[in-house]
């Protein structure tokens, strides 16, 4: 593959953008090499500026569940832009969006639209703190909730690590308020709540971890957290920015049958435009300004073009059997990858929930963050590049979930598995 134009663009970009990118993982730092620059995207494919075609399992990090450049989403956006780009006053599509979200995710009786997943989680935490009058929050090792200060707290391997900032710039006084737990550890959560439960405003969790590769909850784990939060008067926040409308139409909460107090969304609800949202029980949401005293606002929130894109996408994912078909496609991809790895003698296991999956270079079933980080990362990095050479783009990090779209048909999956045969062979050598 020729990458001359991408290389030239990356050289220019590095002079002007920190690391040459506008979001860190795009820079290929953990896998090595340089990113390609995308000219256009269609269905399951990205086309780079050098004319190379890539089967895409990143899907813009989640939104593109109906494939890139879907004609119905594009048409909705084109229609919306004919009426103007931003009004700064209420518009009808915001109401339709709120009706759609609250119908599909019944734990959300009211919602507030924002512009990113980060804004959604920041706002949900502020609401939780304001509503409970408590300050501490709990998050999980390996869970990512955007780049808000309170979430950039390093997770320790023990039950509880208090106050170690991951990023310079996060005030210690704030990070001390974030406690971290090991995902899928029942006992650790129980102990933490026994110790400081009365001080906890909220526990926030990716119900299926998608930011430490892909780790589903153990049987009963989310229920256990629900019970702890209820018992100790803390709010349970499901961060469904990634899982929402992806692992099931009603998100992970529908898939596992757990009702959180608050939910955060992003990605799919924007159809590829910059959108986030948070929602929950009416009495909680009524505490948000201007209905209540907890302040949160946005110049472009509820933007008409973004609402049109998101609504068009949410319409498509409601087609009967949509998620079942995606789940089956994801299963066939994972089985194909595992069998290709076996043929090459490379130890690999997979996890999947709905249309998200993880590929681990280990012979173990991965259920914890510690297991995910103990995998053979060097082997993943070799596999990543071997796949890229064969026209398949996986997330450029061993710690990201993969995403399928409805445009990934049987032929695309078969082509991916064929590429994987060669790529696993290259890893084994």
State how far the Cα of 186 lies from the Cα of 198, in Å rounded to an integer: 19
Q: Does residue 213 interact with ligand PLP by CB under 6 A? A: no
Residue 116 or 182: the one with the smaller Cβ distance to ligand PLP is: 116
Q: Does 150 bind ligand PLP (CB under 6 A)?
A: no
DSSP 95-123: HHHHHHHHHHSTT-SEEEEESSHHHHHHH
Tell me the CA end-to-end span of the chain in Å, nearest whole number. Answer: 21
155 belongs to the binding site for ligand PLP (CB under 6 A): no
Of the candidate residues 116, 178, 349, 406, the single one contacting ligand PLP (CB under 6 A): 116
Residue 124 bridge partners (DSSP): none
Query: Which region, judged by CB under 6 A, interacts with ligand PLP, from 124-132, 142-150, 215-223, 248-256?
Result: 142-150
Interface with ligand PLP (CB under 6 A), residue total 16
User: Counting contacts by CB under 6 A, is residue 358 touching ligand PLP?
Assistant: no
Active-site residue (options: 239, 256, 369, 399): 239
Tell me the residue number closest to ligand PLP, measured at CB: 117
**139 forms part of the interface with ligand PLP (CB under 6 A):** no
Q: How many other β-carbons are positioned within 10 Å of the β-carbon of residue 133?
A: 7
Question: Which member of 6, 121, 150, 213 binds ligand PLP (CB under 6 A)?
Answer: 121
When binding is defined by CB under 6 A, the residue of 134, 145, 382, 385 that contacts ligand PLP is 145
Q: Which is nearer to ligand PLP, 275 or 379 (CB)?
A: 275
For the record, the structure tokens of 363 come out as 């012979």
Residues 360-379 that bind ligand PLP (CB under 6 A): none
Rg of the chain on CA atoms, in Å: 21
Interface with ligand PLP includes 117 (CB under 6 A)? yes
Q: Are 244 and 63 in contact (CB under 8 A)?
A: no
Question: SS3 for 169?
Answer: coil
Closer to ligand PLP by Cβ: residue 56 or 239? 239
Q: What does residue 209 show for φ and ψ, rounded to 5 degrees?
A: -70, 125
Kindly name the residue from 139, 183, 261, 267 that is annotated as catalytic.
267
Do the Cβ atoms of 374 and 366 come closer than 8 Å? Answer: no
Helix intervals (H) in 320-409: 322-344, 369-373, 377-389
Give 44 or 266: the residue with its C-beta nearer to ligand PLP: 266
114 lines the binding site for ligand PLP (CB under 6 A)? no
83 carries an active-site annotation: no
Instruction: Say how many C-beta atoms besides its own lie within 10 A of residue 205's C-beta.
Output: 25
Closest by CA position to 183, among listed 150, 202, 152, 211 = 211
Scanning 29-37, 126-134, 143-151, 297-305 for contacts with ligand PLP by CB under 6 A, the matching segment is 143-151
* Closer residue to ligand PLP in complex, CB, 125/412: 125
Question: HEC string of 236-305?
Answer: EEEECCCCCCCCCCCHHHHHHCCCCCEEEECHHHHECECCEEEEECHHHHCCECCCCCECCCCCCCCCHH
Quote helix, strand, coil % in the chain, to nearest 5: 45, 15, 40
- Under rule CB under 6 A, residue 211 binds ligand PLP: yes
Asked if omega into 157 is within 30° of 0 (cis), the reply is no
Cβ nearer to ligand PLP, comparing 116 with 350: 116
Tell me how far, at minimum, the Cβ of 199 lies from ligand PLP, in Å: 24
How far apart, in whole angstroms, are the C-alpha atoms of residue 240 and residue 261? 13
- Residue 137 touching ligand PLP (CB under 6 A): no
> For residues 138 and 386, which CB has a smaller minimum distance to ligand PLP in the complex?
138
With beta carbons less than 8 A apart as the criterion, state whether 25 and 397 touch: yes
Task: Decide if residue 242 touches ligand PLP (CB under 6 A).
Answer: yes
Minimum distance of ligand PLP from residue 341's CB (angstroms): 26
Residues in contact with ligand PLP, shown as a per-residue x/- string from 42 to 71 under the rule CB under 6 A: -------------------x----------
C-alpha to C-alpha distance for 303 and 119, rounded to whole angstroms: 15
The piece of 28-36, 180-188, 205-213, 253-261 that touches ligand PLP (CB under 6 A) is 205-213
Residues between 272 and 291 that touch ligand PLP (CB under 6 A): 276
- Known catalytic residue: 144? yes
Q: Please tell me whether residue 241 binds ligand PLP under the rule CB under 6 A.
A: yes
Instruction: List residues near ligand PLP by CB under 6 A.
Output: 61, 116-118, 121, 144-146, 206, 210-211, 239, 241-242, 266, 276
Q: Where in the sequence numbering do the catalytic residues fall? A: 144, 239, 267
């Amino acid at each position: 593959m020729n990458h001359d134009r991408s290389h030239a663009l990356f050289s220019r970009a590095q002079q002007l953008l920190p690391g040459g990118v506008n979001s860190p993982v795009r820079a290929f730092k953990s896998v090595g090499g340089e990113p390609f620059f995308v000219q256009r995207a269609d269905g399951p494919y990205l086309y780079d500026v050098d004319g190379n075609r890539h089967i895409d399992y990143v899907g813009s990090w989640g939104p593109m569940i109906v494939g890139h450049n879907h004609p119905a989403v594009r048409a909705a956006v084109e229609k919306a832009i004919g009426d103007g780009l931003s009004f700064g006053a209420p518009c009808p599509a915001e109401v339709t969006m709120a009706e759609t979200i609250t119908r599909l995710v019944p734990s959300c009786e009211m919602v507030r639209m924002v512009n990113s997943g980060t804004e959604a989680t920041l706002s949900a935490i502020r609401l939780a703190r304001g509503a409970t009058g408590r300050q501490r929050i709990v998050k999980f090792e390996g869970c990512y909730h955007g780049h808000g200060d309170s979430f950039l707290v390093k997770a320790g391997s023990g039950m509880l690590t208090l106050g170690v900032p991951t990023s310079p710039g996060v005030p210690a006084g704030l990070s001390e308020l974030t406690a971290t737990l090991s995902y899928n550890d029942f006992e650790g959560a129980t102990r933490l709540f026994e110790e400081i439960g009365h001080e906890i405003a909220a526990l926030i969790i990716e119900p299926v971890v998608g930011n430490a590769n892909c780790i589903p909850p153990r049987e009963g784990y989310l229920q256990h957290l629900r019970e702890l939060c209820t018992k100790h008067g803390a709010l349970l926040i499901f961060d469904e920015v990634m899982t929402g409308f992806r692992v099931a139409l009603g998100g992970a909460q529908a898939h596992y049958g757990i009702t959180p107090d608050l939910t955060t969304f992003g990605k799919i609800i924007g159809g590829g435009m910059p959108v986030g949202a948070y929602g929950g029980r009416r009495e909680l949401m009524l505490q948000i300004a201007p209905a209540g005293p907890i302040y949160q606002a946005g110049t472009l929130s509820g933007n008409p073009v973004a609402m049109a894109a998101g609504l068009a996408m949410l319409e498509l994912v409601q087609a009967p059997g949509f998620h079942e078909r995606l789940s089956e496609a994801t299963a066939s991809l994972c089985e194909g990858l595992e069998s290709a790895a076996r043929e090459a003698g490379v130890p690999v296991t997979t996890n999947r929930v709905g249309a998200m999956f993880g590929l681990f270079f280990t012979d173990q079933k991965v259920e914890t963050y510690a297991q995910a980080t103990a995998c053979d990362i060097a082997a993943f990095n070799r596999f990543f590049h071997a796949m890229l050479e064969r026209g398949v783009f996986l997330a450029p990090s061993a710690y990201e979930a993969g995403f399928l779209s409805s445009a990934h048909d049987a032929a695309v999956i078969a082509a991916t598995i064929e590429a994987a045969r060669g790529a696993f062979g290259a890893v084994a050598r």
